[in-house]
Structure 1
Amino acid sequence: MTISRRNLLAVGAGAGLLTACGSNTGRGGGGSGPQLSQWYHQYGEPGTEQAVRRYAAGYRKAHVSVQWRPGNYDQQTAAALLTDSGPDVFEVNGPTLDQIRSGQILDLTELLDGVKDDFNPAVLAPKTYDGKVWAIPQTIDMQLLYYRKSLLRAAGVEPPTTLDALVDAARRLTDRKTKGLFLGNDGGAGVLGGTPLYAAGLQLVTDGGEIGFDDPAAARTLGKLHRLYADESLLLGAPSDWSDPSALLQGLTAMQWSGLWALPQVQKELGDDFGVLPFPGDGDHGRPTVPVGAYGAAVSARSGHEEAAKEYVKWLWVERTDHQQDFALSYGFHIPARISLAEKATRLREGPAADAVRFTTEHGYAQPLLWTPASQTAYQDALSRIIRNGAGPEGELRAVVRKVRAELDRVNTGRKTP
């Protein structure tokens, strides 16, 4: 499948090499004010590029040129922010601590005056540091569990609402032709990430910047994921990976973890023969959980037009709710970052789409700002060994806790108290 907004939810994606930057081919805005450059990563959904160019062309207070950036966008922006030739306004999958602490991006807190509570808190949290907002969420992607109603009904299986029930359902739904559950061709380590920990009532990093899963419940929960593998209930080696719903549609699996973006295709091919669920809670303190993510609009501190750039971001991602709805739902299938817009969007009012919006509001979590790439790699490698190799979760997690604690000590050095 082509590059799209789902990439920000793909846990553990490898970083590519910095690619050559393209020329400025943006169609300028109609304004006669300052010249502003705006960068986007390359979306896969048809029409998205034309839409953002149209938004920019409609702005009258500045001349905005859009650059569509193929290749490794995060590395491109990281390099450009160190120069005077980078963007004024840019999309950010983050931001990162380095961008904030080194003063590369501007504080945008004031742009949300009076409307901050209308932004989904799960996606606003990782864009907030020391009580300040550093990027304005644009639109939300999320993951959830799809299931075939007819297959569950034939096996006498209820939609699972606990992790134990999910393990049992996957086993009972597995036969010679169909596996019970598809979590990706690696068994789930890549896509699940911290989701099972949140489902156990834990966190990757607490709000106070401490490790959030140094708890026996973490090992108990992750151990149950190995049971899925050991029971041979997991589909492995599917023609397409978890982000594509083909395995579910072709009857290779009765349940599949995928993204909201797949819902229109699933609905078109299965009609009413499917439902959606959050990842089920586990243990006495467990809770249903769905991971969410959102690209945000940030402003470079090296822009020569800081106030004009901030004003443009406010216009596009705070004031122009029509553009925000269009961006979320006309080119793919996503949820507006504003709660009020999600609630009144026609395509999100009924059926599984409405369920997905509710899951996002009630059960959504985003990867914390303090969860570093080194912490992620250590955790994901351990999760893979637990799921596929049956490695003892207690020992694996002890090693991860040591690594993450060292990372948190490093990144918390000099951190202000919110």
Structure 2
Amino acid sequence: MSALSNSNWDRRNVLRAAMGLAAAGGLTACGGNTGRSGGGSGDSLVQYFHAYGEAGTEQAIKKYAKAYKGADVTTRWITGDNFESKLFSSLLTKQAPDVFEFHPQLQMVKSGQVADLSDLIDPVKDDFNPNDIKSHTVDGKIYGIRMIDDPQFFYYRKSMLEQAKVEVPTTLEELVEAAAKLTTDKVKGVFLGNDLTAIQNVIIFSAGADTIDANNKIAYHTDGVVDGLKQLRKLFTSGNLLLDAPTNFWDPSSLNQGLCAIQWGGMWSMPAMQAALGDDLGIFPFPKIGSSGKQSVYNGGWSMFVNAKSKNLDAAKEYVKWLWIDQKEYQEDWALSYGFHIPPRTSIANSATKLKSGLPAEAVKLFTDFGHFDNISYDQTMQTAFAEVIASSVRKDGDPEKALDTCDKKVDVELKKLFG
């Protein structure tokens, strides 16, 4: 697999661009077309994908589309670092895609932007990871079909930890201490991504807290989260954290090239890391924070949605059903041939031999034991507000309590918009 390009969108960053975009306009300069399918009903569909970094992904999506005979399917492969803004500005225009990938967000449902796909999923609902069903369900209806699950955890160089006589950290204090012992004049102890937003959800989960609770109230503002922010500030100022790396956390280069001893990343990077480091590669979950904390793994991923306002709604749903429900061979190919991802379909995951042994099997176990999925109600505005907490209290020297108070006010406003 080729290294991920700096120009590619940081696709698994939990901080995703705000959705309530006022800008309108088409995407005439973005992406390219696939080959067209060979006929069929005469319907024409357009689907949007962000530019994945793994080699072969664009060709695969276009191959799947070309194989479909029910409609002519054109793929817009959106390059650059602003996929969301291009997608959502397009959704306000007549050039809106019929089908697009994104993440479950309640405001998309509330605004009538995404179609109810319950009729497609219900016959095979029991074959999906129940957490993926839950994260796409609103009032008993399912919006979006999960394509891939992307657990995120720490990778580390075993030899570097052994030489420094460092045990694998299980608490955040131990991670901070390990970073100090692992740092040399050439290597930094830990890499958490260039702006630290990649770990903003696991800070909450590892402190034993949650984003918002079952009653749609704030659940992240706890003493444990405050403690975690203070410890991360200590790490940030220690000189033992890799800052301004050439590529971000989703790219394996920082660990592979020896810039750091421990790197936060996703399962998608595992084949490239194994190819570079062999048996010197290990993984562990984000360490627990405080006495109430527990180790955690954030599960990112991508889902397919149908534009509820599409002029070809029925044709779009048929295509999505064909590809992401019926074509298990393509679903397995998408999950396992271009980096490693966990298939959301239980039947495919259970037969995935690439995930049955060694480090991939360890990753699946971390996913199973420590995984946290997106909450469809914890929307982009809320995520952005918490990202500002990271910026204020970790990257700068702000008071975590005050930063969280400011975040609370913004999140409360959004919760009232969504729930009254």
Residue 178 of structure 1: how far off its partner (Å):
2.4
Question: Are the structure 2 counterparts of residues 406 and 99 from structure 1 closer, same or farther at C-alpha, using a change threshold of 3 Å?
Answer: closer
| Equivalent residue pairs, number | 409
Question: Are the structure 2 counterparts of residues 337 and 84 from structure 1 closer, same or farther at C-alpha, using a change threshold of 3 Å?
Answer: same
Partner of 1:221: 228
Residue 109 of structure 1: how far off its partner (Å):
1.4
Question: Are the structure 2 counterparts of residues 3 and 322 from structure 1 closer, same or farther at C-alpha, using a change threshold of 3 Å?
Answer: farther
Asked if the contact 2:270/2:339 (under 8 Å) is kept, the reply is no
Residue 326 of structure 1: how far off its partner (Å):
0.7
Residue 35 of structure 1: how far off its partner (Å):
0.9
Partner of 2:96: 86
Identity value in percent: 38
Question: Among residues 1, 5, 9, which one is paired with 1:2 in the alignment?
Answer: 5
Question: Are the structure 2 counterparts of residues 334 and 19 from structure 1 closer, same or farther at C-alpha, using a change threshold of 3 Å?
Answer: farther
For the residues of structure 2 that align with 1:85 and 1:151, how far apart are their CA atoms? 52
Residue 272 of structure 1: how far off its partner (Å):
0.3
Is 2:84 the partner of 1:74?
yes
Partner of 2:356: 349
Structure 1 unaligned segments of length 5 or more: list them.
Answer: 414-418
Partner of 1:375: 382
For the residues of structure 1 that align with 2:45 and 2:289, how far apart are their CA atoms? 47
For the residues of structure 2 that align with 1:55 and 1:326, how far apart are their CA atoms? 10
Residue 224 of structure 1: how far off its partner (Å):
1.6
For the residues of structure 2 that align with 1:176 and 1:303, how far apart are their CA atoms? 56
Residue 135 of structure 1: how far off its partner (Å):
0.5
Asked if the contact 2:102/2:305 (under 8 Å) is kept, the reply is no
Asked if the contact 1:181/1:254 (under 8 Å) is kept, the reply is yes
Partner of 1:281: 288
Question: Among residues 367, 373, 376, which one is paired with 1:366 in the alignment?
Answer: 373
SS of 2:219's equivalent? coil
Is 2:190 the partner of 1:181?
yes
Asked if the contact 1:204/1:371 (under 8 Å) is kept, the reply is yes
Partner of 1:416: none
Question: Are the structure 2 counterparts of residues 20 and 298 from structure 1 closer, same or farther at C-alpha, using a change threshold of 3 Å?
Answer: closer
For the residues of structure 2 that align with 1:155 and 1:268, how far apart are their CA atoms? 24
Structure 2 unaligned segments of length 5 or more: list them.
Answer: none
Partner of 2:108: 99
Question: Among residues 106, 119, 127, which one is paired with 1:110 in the alignment?
Answer: 119
For the residues of structure 2 that align with 1:146 and 1:31, how far apart are their CA atoms? 47
Asked if the contact 2:58/2:77 (under 8 Å) is kept, the reply is no
For the residues of structure 2 that align with 1:295 and 1:114, how far apart are their CA atoms? 21
Is 2:249 the partner of 1:242?
yes
SS of 2:41's equivalent? coil
Question: Are the structure 2 counterparts of residues 73 and 173 from structure 1 closer, same or farther at C-alpha, using a change threshold of 3 Å?
Answer: closer
Asked if the contact 1:119/1:338 (under 8 Å) is kept, the reply is yes
Residue 219 of structure 1: how far off its partner (Å):
0.8
For the residues of structure 2 that align with 1:406 and 1:74, how far apart are their CA atoms? 22
Q: Structure 2-normalised TM-score? A: 0.87
SS of 2:308's equivalent? coil
For the residues of structure 1 that align with 2:247 and 2:307, how far apart are their CA atoms? 38
Letter in 1 for 2:189: G
For the residues of structure 2 that align with 1:173 and 1:324, how far apart are their CA atoms? 40
Q: Structure 1-normalised TM-score? A: 0.88
